[in-house]
Structure 1
Amino acid sequence: MTAPDPDTQVLFVGYNAAYLRAIDGRVPAGSVVVIEEPDIIRKRELGDAPAGFDCLDRIVPARYQQSAEALDLAVDLSAARGVAAVVPGLEYAVPGAAALAAKLGLPGATEAAAQALRDKVRLREVTGAAGVLNPRWREVHGPEDILDFAGDGPVVVKPANRQASVGVQLLDSVDAAGAARAWERTSSAAEYEQVPDRPLEWRFLAEERLRGPEFSVEALVRQGEVVFENVTAKTVIPGPYPVELGHLLPAPLDEDTRAAFGTALRALVAAVGFGTGILHAEWILTASGPTLVECAGRCPGDYLIDLIDLAYDTRIRLTLIDLLAGRPVELPRSPRRTASIRFLAAEPGTVTGVFGQDTAKALPGVRAVEVDVEAGGEVRPWASSWDRAGHVIATGPDADTTRRTVLDAVAAVRIATD
């Protein structure tokens, strides 16, 4: 990473504690300012958050989710201290960060690209027109639309502008009652701590349900040119809710398949007009090639950045700041090892005990074992990424070794529920 100017600040749109922990002590003290929704500051109790990070100067309350209010801060924030970069900290912050970067004359996704990445209807329109493979799809406004689109076939029903698989459902077949249930579950999906209390506009779509292995491509892009890319193999749970169960990277692929993902990614970048930043594009590999599921314009969740750093010996979060500040970056072309994460599950109910963590941690290659529930807490059925009970991370010299290690570690941990 190029040494940052200590007289400038980095603006984060959206509070991301994992990102702040990763850069704390590696960027100048007090050089980060976070813009966050007032309701989210209250609900997540973020008033004292700056005390927990040497790098974090303050959190500024302003609306940015489906609002341009944060743009009004641009002049004030840059007047007293120069702004080096604007970073989207969260999924819902992508359009706000792009607009703020554009107003300040800094590198960013571009406002048009950010709008497409935050709305799957728009993403389908622009990428399909450019020749990127997409499933058959339709925007829906009620159960009648779902039923009309699906016919007798399998279908995916999802919000067009939410995150973390919230409200996404996989249906093998649809009748009138099933369409009504799907619409109710999808349209009523909620994220209490992730969104403000004011009414927001949500859109919905139905899609052809594709069959095939799932992958994601993580890429750093500078002025429309891909300067780093990684392909990740993804595993999702069976059933109606496609929540990720685990990831393995780099995916064990032959050269032709890996090249096909690279070609598809570059076509996506060109189609949306993406400028500078990070992309996390999800694909299903069909007989026709990589077919686009969705794409995000911020650091991916599920600890994927940590896996990339472990596999490639990088510090992607710091590199992203450099990119968004217009500074030169150096990135590896190949990994040093493989890395994998597997999420912990348990029978839904009240937790009575957690066992085996020390055994899992002692396994060679295990890098992290985290359990997010404790005795007296609740384990919920998986309907979105927020319902998972913890995770295990492992590395190894090759995909097979790493996969065995992470599965052994998961097997060693037992979350007992009543």
Structure 2
Amino acid sequence: MTHQEVAMTTHRTDAQVVFVGYNAAYLRAIDGSVPDGSVVVLEEPDIIRKRDLRDAAGRFGCLERIVPTSYQQSAGALDLAAELEARRPVVAVVPGLEYAVPAAAALAEKLGLPGATEHAAQALRDKARLREVCDAAGVRGPRWREVYGPEDILDFAGDGPVVVKPANRQASVGVQLLDSVDAASAARAWERTSSADEYEQVPDRALTWRFLAEERLRGPEYSVEALVRDGEIIFHNVTAKTVIPGPYPVELGHLLPAPLDRATQTAFETAMRALIGATGYRTGILHAEWILTDSGPALVECAGRCPGDYLIDLNDLAYGTRIRLALIDLLAGRPVTLPRSARAVAAIRFLAAEPGTVTKVAGTHAARALPGVRDVEVDVEAGQEVLPWTSSWDRAGHVIATGPDAASARRRALDAEATVRITTE
């Protein structure tokens, strides 16, 4: 992003940007580049309590306050529109979290601001609705069925491979890959999927969860990060994903931009345009996950907010951008210019450890000193329990590296990963 573009984000000191959902990484990234006190966050009262966010406004200069309101599967945030506008003009509404996407889109519509549209956001937040609109528009994807118990899973799968997952959760929570299905495995899959929980991420009130069984597709996995303005893609990146083997498809690493031939790159661009058309998405950011089958890209799912897994940071390193600032400008209706090609390749590897109690963490300083390493973060410490990976929340940290090409970036990330040693017993 140019200095002129950053200035466009910061020139309205009398205005405010509203985030639906508290995202510390986003706030940290923009702090100092937007006016002090120009950001307001709407968050669920239960989540404010669980995550100890009552004093969060003191952690970032840009954050004026956190306003308690309901937004997850609720229209409560819409009731604040008049109050927010009366205090200071709202220039943009940003979805801070996955569960905030519909509320952010609805609030933007009510305030007359650019956004996803409420219709598109509802489809992106619910994989069953997304399948329906994509099937109707001819976007390639797996066979699927909404399921209400183990009998439905068994009936759909027969004895073949199947994916069982929640339709409206996040972070791979509850997702399982089954090579074959019988009555016992269907019952276990249903119990694990339907009982999946995210204590700090959801309010205590009863929420409605839906569940899917899908055909298990085969092929390498990719994601596409795209900025969209009025239904047109203005920034597009394809990321190669590495997923752990076994029943829980948790990401082990990412590499971007993915080393693809021109025909495959074009196939992903075409698939993204079809997805945008199918959902009626207008303005904002998309993070779509695909499997590259023999017939071309097939949609796994798509989110209408900044991706997790440090993918925004990887894009910024590879393209020389500041995408979080660009997204605010985009949602404020300001001009945004972004590069069409990357100047480097960025890679991330997520750290694992044998399940047990952590006794020692070593090698972090040595890993940070390796060529091309940009970040090393360990999220566990001595005395903490490490669990087997069943979702993204179970990973023990990460390393990030860059290089002039895909091979060097991947090698540097793997070297840094091998240097960090997490000992458990």
Q: TM-score range by the shorter chain?
A: over 0.9
- In the other structure, the counterpart of 1:386 is 393
Q: How does 1:3-402 map to 2 (within 5 A)?
A: 3-402=10-409
1:407 alignment partner AA: L
Distance 2:326 2:11 in 1: 11
Distance 1:132 1:118 in 2: 17
Displacement after TM superposition at 1:128 (Å): 1.2
Q: Deviation digits for residues 244-287 of structure 1, max 9, x if unmatched?
A: 00000000000000000000000000100001000000000000
Distance 2:368 2:71 in 1: 40
- In the other structure, the counterpart of 1:411 is 418
Q: Gaps (5+ residues) in structure 2?
A: none
Distance 1:225 1:209 in 2: 31
1:308 alignment partner AA: N
Distance 1:76 1:225 in 2: 32
Distance 1:57 1:381 in 2: 39
Distance 1:173 1:218 in 2: 33
1:307 alignment partner AA: L
Identity %: 80
Displacement after TM superposition at 1:358 (Å): 1.3
1:83 alignment partner AA: V
Distance 1:199 1:381 in 2: 28
Displacement after TM superposition at 1:4 (Å): 3.4
Q: Deviation digits for residues 349-373 of structure 1, max 9, x if unmatched?
A: 1000001111111110000010000
TM-score (norm 1): 1.00
**Partner SS state of residue 193, structure 1:** helix
**Partner SS state of residue 338, structure 2:** coil
**Partner SS state of residue 200, structure 2:** coil
2:329 alignment partner AA: D
Displacement after TM superposition at 1:178 (Å): 0.6
**Partner SS state of residue 180, structure 1:** helix
Distance 2:11 2:386 in 1: 43
2:40 alignment partner AA: V
Q: Deviation digits for residues 187-232 of structure 1, max 9, x if unmatched?
A: 0000000000000000000000011000000000001010000000
1:315 alignment partner AA: R
2:54 alignment partner AA: G
**Partner SS state of residue 293, structure 1:** strand
1:234 alignment partner AA: K
Distance 1:368 1:378 in 2: 23
Distance 1:316 1:116 in 2: 24
Distance 1:79 1:369 in 2: 44
RMSD, matched Cα:
0.5
Distance 1:110 1:122 in 2: 15
Q: Deviation digits for residues 17-55 of structure 1, max 9, x if unmatched?
A: 000000000000000000000000000000010001000
Distance 1:307 1:213 in 2: 20
Q: Gaps (5+ residues) in structure 1?
A: none
**Partner SS state of residue 41, structure 2:** strand
Distance 1:5 1:361 in 2: 38
